[in-house]
Each structure stands twice: as structure tokens, then as C-alpha cells.
Amino acid sequence: MLLMDLSLLLSLQPAAAQTSRGAPNVKAATSEGSAKPADTKKPAQSISLSGLLAAQRMTLRLKNQAALRRKARARTPNRKPITIINEQVPAGSANPAQRFPYSTAKKLIQEFLTAKLRNVTYDPSTSADLTKNLCEDIKKIVRRVTPPRYKLICNTAIGSKNQEDVLVTSQCLWDSYSDNVTSCSFQNPTMFCVVTVYAVYFE
């Protein structure tokens, strides 16, 4: 048993280490009277400890890479995307052939406010009449791009531009499949103006 452990230990160490330590070579036993030449087997190749450690590190790295690939495939299932062909409109909702172009209306209102109020100075005594005139003019401009059977409601707020902040909000109940709204604002050194236009479909 001791001889087997010693031979195993010597096979794991490099050849240079074996010669430096002076370990005896084990030869096959021959009979005294035989004239056969000695058994010339090639010595077993030595395995270095650093090589074993490098092989273990490489195996562990490959296992980790394979595990990461499996996790990535599990996160992204191979499902086909869902496409909605036609929007389902409720039975009680209106379904106009042409919807209100709110982005085009917003662009027209913004250009009109810039041209109309660029050089206007805020005056509390004339702001009421200015608000009414702006509403009528804006409705005429937006009516050019509004599809048939739409009613327009214009709400305009004008105020003095001082250090305080102003928040303008609105709320209404309507049919989201046919009705729409657009809003824009303008300000100059002395005043601000907020315009909201509602487009309500009438059957």
C-alpha cells in the first residue's frame, strides 16, 4: 500500500522534481540467470498541478457561459407579436368616417396667436373683448380643417404675466372614439393666453 501511494505521488510531480529529489527509479525484477534484456517501457508522462488547475478553471468558465445562455433563452420566449387589425368600437359610440385633425388645428391656432398677440400689451379693461374676438377668429380658422358634423367649442384665458404662476385645467365628459380636443398657449412680455378647442361629433 505504501509503495502504491509513493508511485502515485511521483507520477503527479514533474520529471525535474523527481531527479532533483533523488527518487530511485523502479525497475521490473528479472531473474538472475536469465539473459533477457531489461524491460524498456516508456516512463509515464507526468501531470503538473498547474495544468490541472487551469483545466478546472476552463471547465468552470464554460459551464457558467452555458448557464447564462440558458437563462437568456428562458427570458425571451419565442412568442409571435399580437397585432390588432381593427379597433373595436363600442355599440353606443359614434364612429365618424373622418376624425378631427387635432395636430393640424393646434398648428393653425399657434400661428394665429403668434401673429395676433405678438405686439399686444395686457390691459384689464380690454381683455374681455379681446378674449371674445379671439374665440370667434379661432373657431373660423379651425372650421376650415374640421370634418362635417363636428361642433366646435373654444375656451380662451388671458391674463397678466407677473411673477406668480397660473394653472389652467379643464374637464369634460365625452365620447373618446369620436370627440377630440386641442390646446396651445402663447405669451409675450406682458401677458399670457391659453386656448382650448373641443371638437364634439354630432349625429
pLDDT in tens, 48-95: 788 888 888 899 999 999 988 888 777 766 667 777 666 677 777 788
Residue 150 lies in a domain: yes
pLDDT score, position 40: 57
Residue 54 lies in a domain: no
pLDDT score, position 41: 56
For residue 172, the domain's CATH number is: 3.30.1140.40
Question: Of 106 and 4, which is predicted with more confidence?
Answer: 106
Residue 93 lies in a domain: no
Least confident span in 7-21, 120-134, 144-158 = 7-21
Task: Spell out the alpha helix ranges (H) of the chain.
Answer: 2-12, 15-21, 49-75, 102-117, 127-143
Confidence of residue 171 (pLDDT cuts 50, 70, 90): confident
pLDDT score, position 54: 85
Average pLDDT over the chain, rounded to an integer: 78
Q: Is the pLDDT of residue 38 over 70?
A: no
pLDDT score, position 150: 94
Indicate the SS3 state at residue 26.
coil
Residue 174 lies in a domain: yes
Residue 143 lies in a domain: yes
pLDDT score, position 50: 83
Residue 76 lies in a domain: no
What range does the domain containing 137 cover?
102-201
Residue 195 lies in a domain: yes
**Taking CA 134 as the corner, what is the angle to CA 132 and CA 135, rounded to the nearest 5 degrees?**
65
The whole-model pTM stands at 0.55
Q: Is the pLDDT of residue 170 over 50?
A: yes
Cα–Cα distance, 130 to 113 (Å, whole number): 12
How many domains would you assign to the chain? 1
Residue 45: all three cell numbers together = 508522462
Residue 82 lies in a domain: no
pLDDT score, position 117: 94
